[in-house]
Chains A and B, each alone.
Chain A
């Protein structure tokens, strides 16, 4: 399974856009990119998933360049409640779909 690299932590202020980039140089052809959010003492929550180009839902956008060796999770206008750990994962959802988590990015949003 492809290994991912993310920044350990990021700080932001309320109302700002936050972009968290994930590196996955060894991504395989069948791998999807998935992001999860986790609050303390809770299970991770699915945010968004994509294969290429751009995916947008009501929560976030996911930008994936043509070479797919990285991806960027974009959170528009963050609020204090977006303070959490964000995990980027890559994997073949049809075959070896056991999620492999790294240490994630700890996002702290300040007033």
Chain B
């Protein structure tokens, strides 16, 4: 079975621009969560999608938005990028059983200049 894949792996954007990050969930998983991890910190929960519906949101502004598609892949969109948005963005997928926790991708390293 394939794991969670994220694209791109690295990205450099200018302040004020918009960015879209993509995530393919692990086969058989219907839930996708997005996390932001600043250097030296633990991952911070952005939001979760379950069967194409948002299923919980962390303390992030509305310029962070997402989508989940019928094949359970997902996108994270960030508008009006700020310098503090520079971070590792992680996608995690899970199934209804949660028997083996969440499976994380390797992340997208976003740098805003």
A81 in the interface, Cβ–Cβ < 8 Å? no
B106 touches A42 (CB 8 A): yes
Segment with Cβ contacts to B, from A20-28, A66-74, A98-106: A98-106
Of B48, B104, B105, B106, which is within 8 A of A98 by CB?
B48
In the bound assembly, the distance between CA atoms of A97 and B88 in angstroms comes to: 21
Stretch in B12-20, B60-68, B77-85, B93-101 touching the partner: B93-101
Q: Which residues of B contact A (CB under 8 A)?
A: 4, 31, 33, 35, 41-45, 48, 56, 58, 88, 90-92, 94, 98, 100-107, 109
Closest to A47 in B: B101
Q: Is A96 an interface residue (CB 8 A)?
A: yes
Count contacts between A and B, CB distance < 8 Å. Answer: 57
Report whether A101 and B42 are in contact in the complex, using a CB–CB cutoff of 8 Å: yes
A43 touches B42 (CB 8 A): no
Say yes or no: A98-B33 contact (C-beta < 8 A), given A41-B88, A43-B106, A43-B107: yes
A41-B88, A46-B100, A49-B101 known; A101 vs B44 contact (CB < 8 Å) = yes
Cross-chain pairs A/B with CB under 8 angstroms, 21 sampled: A34-B101, A41-B106, A41-B109, A42-B104, A42-B107, A43-B4, A43-B92, A43-B107, A97-B31, A97-B94, A98-B33, A98-B45, A98-B48, A98-B58, A99-B35, A99-B43, A99-B45, A101-B35, A101-B42, A102-B42, A103-B42
Quick check: B90 and A99 within 8 Å, CB to CB? no
**CB-CB nearest in chain B for A102:** B42
**Inter-chain contact A104/B42, CB cutoff 8 Å:** yes
Contact indicator per residue, chain A 19-62, by CB within 8 Å of chain B (1) or not (0): 00000000000000010100001111110010000000000000
User: Known contacts A36-B101, A98-B33, A98-B56: does B90 contact A43 (CB below 8 Å)?
Assistant: yes
Contacting residues, chain A, for B94 (C-beta < 8 A) = 97
CA distance A16 to B17 in the complex (A): 49
